Amino acid sequence: MAIDSQVAFKDRALELGTANEDIDALAAADTTCYATFAYCCNFQPGQSDESASTAFLTTSLGAAPSAAVASKLRRLLFEVHALSLEDLKARADRNETSEARDIPLAEKMDRIRQEQQRLAWISFTPQSGPLIALLTRLANN
């Protein structure tokens, strides 16, 4: 699921306008996916005291984040908490008849790129490329 995808996390952070340097600084602090960012500190969206998240970001980034950077990362933190709760609910409600979980598009594209590099001797075209359904099935096993 998207909560464990490093590629999806980085793509979303970039979509929100987070600088590559800040994403790399978070990665250096072992915060590389939604799941690790959601539980990086003792903070939940909606709390009035943001000192825990501010302290984590200050430590990770090497300096206190500016208001612009903090707002982008605060939004990302809110989103990862929502995804985390959704993932927990989906895991609790899952049974044998549940459908396989879909992987995010960014993760699918990264896996296709990895397969193209691994199998460089094969010419990948839209007609001969790996099926997304196969990549999804392999991800869920």
Tokens for 4? 């464990």
In Å, how far from its chain's centre is CA 99? Answer: 21
Determine the pLDDT at residue 17. Answer: 93
Residue owning tokens 């990302």 = 76
The answer to whether the pTM exceeds 0.85 is no
Contact 38, 77 (CB under 8 A): yes
- Provide, rounded to the nearest whole percent, the portion of the chain with pLDDT above 70: 80
Determine the pLDDT at residue 46. Answer: 76
pLDDT digits over 32-86, tens only?
Answer: 988 888 888 888 777 778 888 889 899 999 999 999 998 999 899 899 988 888 8
Residue among 110, 124, 113, 19 at smallest CA distance from 70: 19
Residue owning tokens 């994403």 = 23
Mean pLDDT of the region 87-103: 72
Amino acid at 88: L
Residue 74, H or E segment: helix 67-93
